[in-house]
Amino acid sequence: MVRHNNQLPDNLPQLQNLIKRDPASYREEFEQQHRHYQSLVQVFRLQPGQFSKSLDELVMFLAQVAHCYSDVLENYPQELMDLLQTHLTVLDSDMRMTFCRALILLRNKNLLAPTALLSLFFQLLGCRDKALRKFLETHIVTDIKNLNAKHKNAKLNTTLQNFMYSMLKDNNAKAAKMSVDIMIELYNKNVWNDAKTVNVISTACFSKFTKVMVAALKFFLGTDKEEESKDSDSEDEPSAKEVVMANRVNKKTRKREKQLKKVKQLVVKHKKKKSDAPVFNFSALHLVHDPQGLAEKLFAQLEKTNERFEVKLMMLDVISRLIGLHQLFLLNFYPYIQRFMQPHQREVTRILQFAAQASHELVPPEVLEPVLKTLVNNFVTERNSGDAMAIGLNAVREICGRCPLAMNEDLLRDLVQYKTYRERSVMMAARSLIHLFRHSVPHLLHKKDRGRPTEASVEVKPLQYGEVDAKSYVAGAEAVLEETKDSSNSDSDDDDDGDDSDDEWVDVSHSSEEESTTRDEKNDTSTTKAEKNDTSQEQNKEPPTPGTKSDLAMEVSTTRILTDEDFRKIEAAQIRKQIVAPVKGRKRQAELETNSRGELVSLGDIENIYKKRRHDKQARLESVKKGQEDREKYGYQDRRQNPFSSKTNREKRKTKNYMMVKHKVQRKVKRSFKEKQIALRNHLIKLKKMK
């Protein structure tokens, strides 16, 4: 077929559009362009460093229509890959980018195997072309994510992971760095979130290239997001509702108001521990196959390295997290970090954080005792500022919260003396230390510092090194039976009231005074009955024998399936135990652990200083304006019901010109004491004459 005025050979976009609509009709034009491409490639091989616009356009054109003539372009993808591999270092950057874009188009049309293309792109990561490396990284991550979208392609993932493991050992720093970045990105996107990926990345922590090592360390440290402060008082908590409802019918007293306030504070604190879970990305540390070996190798590298101080801090952070999460034994770590515990040390608060993170209950107390003594001697002394002393006390609290046996009685009682220090920050830090030991090891405190005993703190058993207080039942499960018993008692009381109304004789032996008292009590309202039952129920009970509640909890745990409602009742009862004073004669073990701490130490817990900071003028003005938002306007308020009614002369006088009221203002000139004496004398003389 002869076409007159045919401009298709010179208009590739138009030809591309027509071929996609009707490939058979335009096969001749396509073959012509294909022959032109082959001739241009032969010329390009002679000078691969030069840019060829015609070849650039033809490469993209053939990639767009390759699926229409797959028989002719069967070897086209391999030709482009050969050009890239053969002339990798000398290719023009624009031509190299064009070849890569064409290969991605062919891959999207399923004309190229993913393994072959990804292997080639991994090799291209070593090019000195930042734009190309970024482009390839985006495609690799997207392609692997799409390949694992419906189901995990285990065979492909294993092949690529092995290839990337070899890339990490490459002598090219850029290729190794890009390989680590790709694996980290795939892990964060939950594509390669298995243990093999984590352990491959862990080998990069010992890379000879600093950037690769830092990238791997940052991966294990994760990103620390600041926790947003929430107003938990406004939120409804089921256990708080139950505690409030139980005390609502009682008589309003100051003691009960204080107890309710404490219960609400405990509920808010407990809810924050549950809902505001640590946001640290430390799950990768749990997937390490040999955490002890990794920690030891990292510490050996830390002792020999000459890297910057920031890199050393990152190593210390990773090592401390490994020790704390997996409860490892790395006894040389503590004397090493002890050398940096000085108030003038750079990033000293982070170093104290690492010391607390590396503390756990299996560390021998004699290993942590020198760390505590160094910390106290260097920070908690009056020659330092109040902030330094408060930070030192906070660090002691965090370490002892994870290993209470590291503290001895003499040192603790010395630190407790700062509870009356003149600096508020030091005083609050010392009181927080007292609060910690009230729940963990109260016998180390002086009797006056142990506070008022509660049901949850009576006779806390001091645990020895390596001892675990493990229970075989749900602590506090006896509350379920107590709720059932209380409800049955109330039902029986109602039944008794109904029996009194029947025409039956009840034989009761009592005096006439008791009869009148009984009749008066029957006439009381139900609210009064509830008040008396609630206030006197605890006093009228017989003290249970030791071990009764634990036996009841064991019975409930082994014979019932606890529901969500039961667990809410148990939680409310456990919170109540921390407020209610123990009944005299009752002795039992503490059943509520209030020492639960997160796996990691927050830097804010150590830097938390109770001190009102100074604000500049702008900050003060903003604070003042913020406080005036919902407040009524200060000054005179026009309270007339009808705004159009007339005003008084006194109100009108305020808006008049001064010259109009000057003669009236002059009358109010303040008189001197002498003038007042003369006026009083004249007034008395006048009164005397009138008589």
Q: Which of the residue ranges 245-259, 357-371, 513-527, 535-549 has the most confident prediction, judged by mean pLDDT?
A: 357-371
Last residue of a domain, one of 158, 192, 226: 192
| Shared-domain flag, residues 186 and 297 | no
CATH number for the domain that contains residue 399: 1.25.10.10
**365-391 burial: b if 16+ Cβ within 10 Å, else e:** eebbbebbebbbebbbeeebebebbbb
| Shared-domain flag, residues 59 and 173 | yes
Residue 513 lies in a domain: no
| Shared-domain flag, residues 171 and 295 | no
| Shared-domain flag, residues 315 and 184 | no
Residue 68 lies in a domain: yes
pLDDT attached to residue 310: 93
Residue 149 lies in a domain: yes
CATH number for the domain that contains residue 38: 1.25.10
| Shared-domain flag, residues 185 and 301 | no
**349 contacts 603 by C-beta, under 8 angstroms:** yes
**544 contacts 552 by C-beta, under 8 angstroms:** no
Work out the mean pLDDT of the chain and round it to a whole number.
78
| Shared-domain flag, residues 297 and 156 | no
Q: For residue range 123-148, list pLDDT tens digits in order.
A: 888 788 888 888 988 888 888 888 88
Last residue of a domain, one of 129, 157, 192: 192
| Shared-domain flag, residues 165 and 49 | yes
Mean pLDDT of 420-432: 90
C-alpha distances in Å from residue 673, one per residue of 268, 670, 677, 678, 687: 64, 10, 6, 9, 21
Residue 302 lies in a domain: yes
| Shared-domain flag, residues 180 and 304 | no
pLDDT tier at 562, thresholds 50, 70, 90: confident
| Shared-domain flag, residues 312 and 164 | no
Residue 342 lies in a domain: yes
Residue 420 lies in a domain: yes
**Regarding predicted confidence, which is higher, 634 or 682?**
682
| Shared-domain flag, residues 175 and 30 | yes
User: Of the given ranges (98-112, 224-238, 336-350), which has the lowest mean pLDDT?
Assistant: 224-238
Last residue of a domain, one of 163, 192, 221: 192
Q: Which residue has the tokens 């549950």?
A: 274
Mean pLDDT of 449-471: 69
pLDDT attached to residue 151: 81
Range of the domain at 185: 8-192
Q: For residue range 168-177, list pLDDT tens digits in order.
A: 877 888 888 8
Residue 57 lies in a domain: yes
Mean pLDDT of 319-325: 93
| Shared-domain flag, residues 20 and 157 | yes
Mean pLDDT of 13-22: 87
Residue 541: pLDDT over 50:
no
Q: How far apart are the first and last CA of the chain?
A: 145
d(CA 195, CA 288): 7
| Shared-domain flag, residues 180 and 308 | no
C-alpha closest to that of 393 among 372, 410, 409, 370:
372
Cβ neighbours of residue 645 closer than 8 Å, sequence gap 6 or more: none
How many structural domains compose the chain? 3
